[in-house]
């Protein structure tokens, strides 16, 4: 995978915080990334060229950006204050390429020397254990996070409980609780031994109208990390006009 900078002056990645969505059930993380990028009017600074991701192209889905800009499978954006680097992934990894793509992402994270990584993901709510049916439907996982005690206190205050196996489970490994979560499980497993600091926010969701899930996930990330002002009003991008297709089902079908 190659990272290709674009958009004029080169952007500095080192020391920024990377916000990365995982293409997963309900596309919740991608929709949350849409809200963050569009509301913050983050500038596109580069693209990923990866043989592990399905090739797609289309009109830019955001309300800002250069005229005629085309969307790419994996795009990289940065906020005006250069504190936050955000990825938007428009296409999933190819079948059998999730592991390779996770390794490519890790190589990019290490080469860019990000200060930390925020992984947005979703997991199939239909496969959650009974213990996770009640309570917060956004759970957290942390790996190598600096000042972990402070983060744990903030997670508790926001009711972003850790994603844990239920008591008495045969396999207590937290990563085994991720289902249909895209590349998230593989990337977290790689970041641990690599020493990369990551906090993952995982929405327990089902396929359907996942806009409310995305808003909750964006709210959780913002409450935890203060990416945008606390009183922010999320601005959905223009691409959301077609989330359910143009005009809904045609009456003649019935």
pLDDT for 252 = 62
Structure tokens at 215: 């808003």
Dist. CA 196–CA 144, nearest whole Å: 6
For 219, other C-beta atoms within 10 Å of its C-beta total 16
Q: What is the pLDDT of residues 91-147, one digit of tens each?
A: 999 999 999 999 999 999 999 999 999 999 999 988 877 666 766 789 999 999 876
Structure tokens at 33: 């990334």
Helices (H), the chain: 28-40, 98-112, 148-157, 184-194, 211-225
The CATH number that domain 2-253 falls under is 3.40.50.10900
Q: What is the pLDDT of residues 39-82, one digit of tens each?
A: 999 999 999 999 999 998 888 888 887 667 888 999 999 999 99
Residue 247: partners with Cβ closer than 8 Å, 6 or more residues away: none
User: Is residue 234's pLDDT more than 70?
Assistant: yes
pLDDT for 111 = 95
Q: Where are the domains of the chain?
A: 2-253
Dist. CA 94–CA 51, nearest whole Å: 9
């Amino acid at each position: 995978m190659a990272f290709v900078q674009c958009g004029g002056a080169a952007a500095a990645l080192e020391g920024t915080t990377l916000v990365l969505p995982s293409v997963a059930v309900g596309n919740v993380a991608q929709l949350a990334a849409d809200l963050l990028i569009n509301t913050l009017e983050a500038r596109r600074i580069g693209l990923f060229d990866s043989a592990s991701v399905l090739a797609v192209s289309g009109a830019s889905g955001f309300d800002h950006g250069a005229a005629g800009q085309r969307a790419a499978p994996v795009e990289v954006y940065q906020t005006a204050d250069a504190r936050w680097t955000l990825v938007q992934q428009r296409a999933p990894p190819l079948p059998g390429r999730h592991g390779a793509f996770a390794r490519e992402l890790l190589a990019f994270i290490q080469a860019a020397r990000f200060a930390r990584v925020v992984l947005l993901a979703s997991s199939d709510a239909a496969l959650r254990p009974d213990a996770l049916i009640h309570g917060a439907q956004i759970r957290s996982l942390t790996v190598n996070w600096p000042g972990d005690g402070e983060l744990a206190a903030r997670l508790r205050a926001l009711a972003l409980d850790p994603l844990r196996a239920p008591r008495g489970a045969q396999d207590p490994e937290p990563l085994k609780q991720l289902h249909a979560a895209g590349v998230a499980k593989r990337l977290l497993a790689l970041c641990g031994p690599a020493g990369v600091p990551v906090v993952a926010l995982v929405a327990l969701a089902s396929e359907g109208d996942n806009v409310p899930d995305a808003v909750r996930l964006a709210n959780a990330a913002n409450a935890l990390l203060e990416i945008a002002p606390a009183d922010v009003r999320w601005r959905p991008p223009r691409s959301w006009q077609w989330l359910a297709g143009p005009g809904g089902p045609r009456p003649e079908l019935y």
